[in-house]
Amino acid sequence: MRKTFKPLPIVLALGAALAAPAVLADGLEYHGYVRAQAGGTSEGGNLQCFQENGGRAKYRLGNECDNFSEHSVALPFGDANGVWYKYKLTLAIQNQGKQDAESTNGGAMNWQHRENYISAGGFFGRGFMENASLWVGQRFYNRHDVHMNDFYYWGNSGTGAGIEEVQAGPVKLAFAYLQNQGNANAANDVVNKRYSVRFYDIDVNPGGKFEGEYVHLMDSTAADGVTKGSGDMLFLQHTQGGLLGGFNKVAVVLGREQGAGWEWLPTYAGTGDQNGAKAWRVHEQLSFAFPGSGWSGTATAHYGKYKNGGGQTWSWASIGVRPVYNFTKNFSLATELGHDEAKATWGADAGKASKLDKLTIAPQLALSEGVWSRPVLRAFITHARWNDVARNYGIANGVFGTKNSGTTFGVQAEAWW
């Protein structure tokens, strides 16, 4: 879905600080994503978004409140005797649309540093290492998401180093070291280190691929007598292409002790002893398209459970669908229905499920037809309902008071390239 562009003025502006003009002459890539929206609610005020406490999915259509853009520049350093180097920088900008100009003062705008690394290859000659590449720095690493609810169910991103594209017969391998909490730590700081082995691009059936990643997490400190934890995570995924005009992905995530938790792991791994903790998750997503019918869409389902060392549990379940019907090549109607619920065996509402249902209807104008077509301009109306347990956690900032339902409306622009 992403395209490579020749240097544009904005690219040159971003790249000028990175390299001499001679380096910019050939092959510079610029990729990005942007969304912006405005609207209100049936109770007044500006646009609000619905997400129940503990639920991991937000079913994003008509349910996003921030203005967000992400910009990636990839700068090649040419090719010398088959050896190549590439530098990649990714920055994100997030703001709330409070003023015509916003600054980082007061937190109205937030700059995010996402990627900053160099990769290189062509060192190893012919054989199983022929296509292997090395990298060092901060990067997105093996990220997998469900776009319709902006949910990254697996990602091992961070700062570190690694080697990838090692061909071991029918399997490709990658090895990486990543770390949390940055460098220049105090002597008694506890930091988390992650050791990863990936196996991927494995043909298992016609149109089907299998992949996985094992991560060992381990706390480290220069201080004596500090409690340290460790743990493990395993990610397994099957991707089926050519199904219903689209694809299907089913993934399983297992974790123990330091690796027991939700989608922020392993990237945002914490520290400390989680002796006896276990977690598992299953994620399903489907993309479909029926040529000539005008219909396309996506669907997803999730279930997961966490159990701490004391036997207390926390579970989450979610299901949603976004069908899109194209009346013309450029005009379509998107509908999104999602259900999210979570339940814990501790706290004030122990044993009670927090539930949220959300329905959005959005007429939209896109560059071409299909659920994945971008850029898109859309109007939307969103209606949500929730139970008392979810309301107790402050659904939509309390704008709807003691009610158990609410409606929002607005317009949105979204694009990626």
Phi, psi torsion values for 11, nearest 5 degrees: -65, -45
Closest by CA to 178, choosing from 148, 136, 223, is 136
Tell me the C-alpha distance between 261 and 270, whole Å: 10
Beta-carbon-side half-sphere exposure of residue 301 (alpha carbons within 13 Å): 4
272 sits in the region (left: phi over 0; alpha: psi -120 to 50; else beta) called left
Amino acid (one-letter) located at 201: D
Measured CA to CA, the distance from residue 137 to residue 158 in angstroms comes to 8
In DSSP terms, 83 is beta-bridged to 80
Instruction: Give the integer Cα–Cα distance in Å for 155 and 142.
Output: 6
- 393 three-class SS: coil
Question: What digits encode the pLDDT tens for the residues 54-102?
Answer: 778 889 999 999 999 999 999 999 778 889 999 999 999 998 776 777 7
pTM: 0.91
For residue 79, the 8-state DSSP code is E
For 397, the 3-state DSSP assignment is helix
Backbone angles phi, psi at 177, to 5 degrees: -120, 130
pLDDT truncated to tens, each residue of the chain (417 aa)?
Answer: 444 433 343 343 444 444 434 344 468 999 999 999 999 999 999 999 998 877 788 899 999 999 999 999 999 997 788 899 999 999 999 987 767 777 777 777 899 999 999 999 999 988 999 999 999 999 999 999 999 999 999 999 999 999 999 999 999 999 999 998 888 989 989 999 999 999 999 999 999 999 999 999 999 999 988 888 999 999 999 999 999 999 999 999 999 999 999 889 999 998 888 999 999 999 999 999 999 999 999 999 999 999 999 999 999 999 999 999 999 999 999 999 999 999 999 988 899 999 999 999 999 999 999 999 999 999 999 999 999 998 887 788 889 999 999 999 999 999 999
C-alpha torsion sign, points 181, 184, 189, 195? positive
Q: Which domains does the chain have, with CATH numbers?
A: 9-416 (2.40.170.10)
Interval 266-276: pLDDT, tens = 999 988 889 99
In contact, 128 and 144? CB cutoff 8 Å: no
Encoding tokens for residue 164?
A: 């990838």
Residues 6+ away with beta carbon under 8 Å from 169 = none
pLDDT of residue 12: 39
Contact call for residues 214 and 197 (beta carbons, < 8 A): yes
The bridge status of strand 144-146 relative to strand 376-386 is unpaired
Maximum pairwise Cα distance, the chain: 69
Q: How far apart are the C-alpha atoms of 129 and 388, rounded to whole Å?
A: 58
Question: In this predicted structure, what is the pLDDT of residue 14?
Answer: 44
> Phi first, then psi: what are they for 13, rounded to 5°?
-65, -40
Length of the chain: 417
What span, in angstroms and rounded, lies between the C-alpha atoms of 321 and 316? 17
Can you read off the two tokens belonging to residue 340? 């999210």
Return d(Cα 207, Cα 211) in angstroms, integer.
14
